[in-house]
Structure 1
């Protein structure tokens, strides 16, 4: 009997809980993540408003918060150090409480919201650069050069697909630099309609 009670308690601690609000369904396995739900929905609603102002519509979405970093890697097939990824219209994140503790939660949510709402034919480098500008991540980038300024946009796309660790950070910074430059010259509306330049 005692063994059954322990098993039931363990099952409750790892069973997933889901909450839906403002077009977002959040599924989490760590009970500590429940304390982040109000923040998640507030950031999500603001992101939807900001995207609408840029002519983009945020579709209904699902977000699955992982139990831990290795759970994230097994759910997504991506490295355990990544904060979040959108796959086939579904967002997968690290534990919400862990993202909040590292002050990454709002940036992560806004980045993935942009990825969901972006035009489907944006080149990857531009999509990721714009997502980082939209999320506010770009404000944290160091001002020094990336050393990737001479790469073509196609080469930048290839590096985004292959780079890892600190090298990937540098590639994201270069994509962001170029996206921000394009926004400065052309604004959001025109930049979002550029697919082949």
Structure 2
């Protein structure tokens, strides 16, 4: 059962949001999560980030996947800044390596309705085993975040692709092909969860 977020505590967190000297950025702390952002307009979206993080962390622990003791979320100033920081194409919402999540500008993600699911998706990546294949990691992350529920129920064109090809397709820079690969990975991961449960899927 979800618990209401303590908004008075949020006000205290926001009051501690400080500029980082020389970095043209701001930083806010929320429990184990540190959020840094370059655009001051992103400050208004911190509450959504914190709520999404808390719910994801709770659900991950229930799956036996506690997130790291310290996680850093770095929001880029714009799409070009994100691409420069991550090496990812500008159509990617976020990228996680270890306990560091790098995202597009929070305001941009919010405007596209992607902010809560992006935080939840990347929270899964901070807690997942490094040994699971790319397709399963992405498929499980999208299943965990709920992104797969909005996928069209049409053919991905990758139904017969072997796992190693699907892994390769998930590195594709073409937006349409990449979308198909994410959808196919999600279909396969969700099927595995239905058949074996989350703990069985994570041990696959």
So what's the TM-score if we normalise by structure 2?
A: 0.86
Pair 1:29 & 2:18 matched: no
Cα deviation, 1:69-100, whole Å, max 9, x if unaligned, reads 11111111111121100124311111101111
**Higher helix proportion:** 1
Gap runs ≥5 in structure 1 = 1-10
Gap runs ≥5 in structure 2 = 1-19
Alpha-carbon separation, structure 2, partners of 1:38 and 1:176: 28
What does residue range 9-158 of structure 1 map to in structure 2 within 5 Å? 15-59=24-68, 60-158=70-168
Q: Highest CA radius of gyration, 1 or 2?
A: 1
Alpha-carbon separation, structure 2, partners of 1:88 and 1:116: 6
So what's the TM-score if we normalise by structure 1?
A: 0.89
CA-atom RMSD in angstroms: 1.6
* Runs (4+) off by over 4 Å: none
Q: Size of the alignment, in residue pairs?
A: 184
> CA 1:88/1:117 → structure 2, altered by over 3 Å: closer, same or farther?
closer
Kept in 1: contact 2:97–2:126 (CA 8 A): no
Give the superposition deviation at 1:163: 4.7
